[in-house]
Amino acid sequence: MRKSAPDLAGDAYDVLVLGAGYAGLMAALRLSQRRLGLRVALVNAEDPFVERVRLQESMVHPVVPRIASLTDYLRPTVVEFICGRVTALDPVRRTVRIEADGEGREVGFTQAIYALGSRVDVENVPGAADYTYRLDAGDDPQAAGGLRLALRALREERARILAVGGGALSVEAAAEVKSMWPQMDVTLVSASRAGDFKDARVEAALREGLDRLGVKLIDNTKVREIGPKDVVTDGGQRLSYDLCIWAAGMRSPPIARDAGLEVDDQGRVLVGPDMRSVSHPFILAAGDCAHPVAPTGAPYRLSALTAAVSGVYAGEQAAAGPGERLPPFSFSTFAQAVAVGRYAAVFPLDANDNPILFVLRGRLASHVRGVLIWLVLHFITLERHLPGLQSWPGRRRISQRQADEALRQRRGSAPTPPARDRNRSVPG
C-alpha cells in the first residue's frame, strides 16, 4: 500500500534511500517490487557503483566498475536514481538537501533509509586529515584515486611508505603497495599487533603474508600526531615517511549528527531491533552508519555481508504496512577474506563470527577471495531481477522478547541526544 508523502514543495518520495553502497543499493532493490506501489528514489554522489572490498586494488591501478552506471542499472526498475551529494537532512520538514554540478535541490520523503556508509576516521589524531592518504572512495585528492597518483609519482624511488592501523584495511593497503612496488620500503604501524583482530591462526596467516612480501611491522605503537614528513608515537619516537596511508578506524558522515539524530561517537545512527532510529523512527539506517542497540545474532561489524543484509531488512521495514511488525533484525556469518597483496587469508566463520576449522592462505586464498567478492555482486544482481525473493542466514536468531528486553535496558540508561554541530564539514 502506498504511504502518503508529506505536503512539500518540489519532489517528494515515499522512501528516499541515501547512499548506494551495498546497504543502500540492496534496500532500494528490495523496495523496487512493483506491487508495493511506492515511489522510491536512491541518492548517491557517483553514478558508478563502488565495491568497497576492492578499494585496495584501486591504489595501484584503476578498477573498472562492474556496475558502471547506477542510472542504467536501475532503469528497468521503479527506483529513480538521483546522482548528487547529500549535504543536509532536515527531519522536522522531512527533507534532504542534495547538491550536483554546483546546484542544489531539496527532496522530501515520508521515510528515509540512511545508508551513507563510512570513511576512514581522520578526526582521532592531529594531522591525519592534512597529511595522509586514505582508502576511501570518491574524488577527494587524498582518497584512493589520489593515493594511486601519489604512489605512481614515487615508483622510481626507494620511497618510505608508512601505513598506520593494524586491522584488515591497513594490512591490505601495506601489502598492496609492497606487491606492486617491491623496491619501496613499506612499514605497518599498529597500536596492538598487525592482524590481531580475529584469532591467533588468522593473525599468523596475515603476518606470514606480510613477511613474505617484505613489509616491516611495528607493533604496540600508537601514533599521537602526524606531520608532513613524520609521525610521532606515544613514546616520543619519530618515524619518517615519504607517504603515509591512514587506516586507524572508521567514521560515518556528520549529516545524521547535524540533523539531531541520536548517534554514537563515530557518528553512526543508533537504531532499534527494527533498524529504525531510536530518536526519529521514520528514518532507518543500514550498513556502516547504523549502530543497533539490540542483539543482532552475529556481531554487527563493518562488512559487505552486514551492509547487504541490513539494507534488505531496512527495505522490508520501509515497505511494511501500518501495524505490521517484522521480526527483529538478525543474521549469521559464514566466512571472511582479507587480501594480502597477491596473497590472502580466507577463513570460515561460525554463526557468531568466530573463525572455525581452518585458515586458507597464499595464492589459492586470493583466488577464493575473488570468488567471494563475485558472489556478493551477484547477490545484488539477483535482487535486481527478483526483488523480494532472497533471504539470508540467521534472520530469525533474535526473538522479539530478546529485542524488547534490550530496548528496556537501554531506556534505563539512555544518554542525552547530542546537540547539532553546524561547524562540521561534510565529507567528500
Domains in the chain: boundaries: 11-118+252-332+390-411, 121-248
* pLDDT at res. 6: 39
Q: What is the mean pLDDT of residues 389-396?
A: 86
* pLDDT at res. 47: 94
5 pLDDT above the threshold of 50: no
For 330-375, give the DSSP string: -B---EEEEEETTEEEEEEB-TTS-B-S--EEHHHHHHHHHHHHHH
Q: What is the mean pLDDT of residues 314-322?
A: 92
pLDDT digits (tens, 9 = 90+) for 237-272: 999 999 999 998 899 999 999 999 999 999 999 999
Cα separation, 299 vs 366, in Å, equals 25
pLDDT band at 155 (very low <50, low <70, confident <90, very high): confident
pLDDT band at 414 (very low <50, low <70, confident <90, very high): low
Specify the fold of 121-248: FAD/NAD(P)-binding domain (3.50.50)
Answer whether 165's CB lies under 8 Å from 246's CB.
Answer: yes
pLDDT digits (tens, 9 = 90+) for 171-217: 999 999 999 999 999 999 998 888 887 889 999 999 999 999 999 99
17 pairs with which residues across the strands? 42, 113
Rg (CA), the chain: 22
Helical axes 200-213 vs 168-180, angle rounded to 10°: 20
Domain 11-118+252-332+390-411: give its CATH code: 3.50.50.60
pLDDT digits (tens, 9 = 90+) for 135-151: 888 778 999 899 999 99
Ordered strands of the 230-233 beta sheet = 223-226, 230-233, 238-240
424 pLDDT above the threshold of 70: no
Cα torsion at 112, 117, 123, 125 (round to 10°)?
160
pLDDT digits (tens, 9 = 90+) for 7-22: 333 489 999 999 999 9
DSSP 8-state class, residue 137? -
* pLDDT at res. 413: 62
C-alpha cell of residue 356: 572455525
Q: Which amino acid is at 253?
A: P
Which residues of 20-102 form beta strands (DSSP E)?
40-44, 80-83, 85-90, 95-100
2 pLDDT above the threshold of 80: no
Q: Do domains 11-118+252-332+390-411 and 121-248 have the same CATH topology?
A: yes
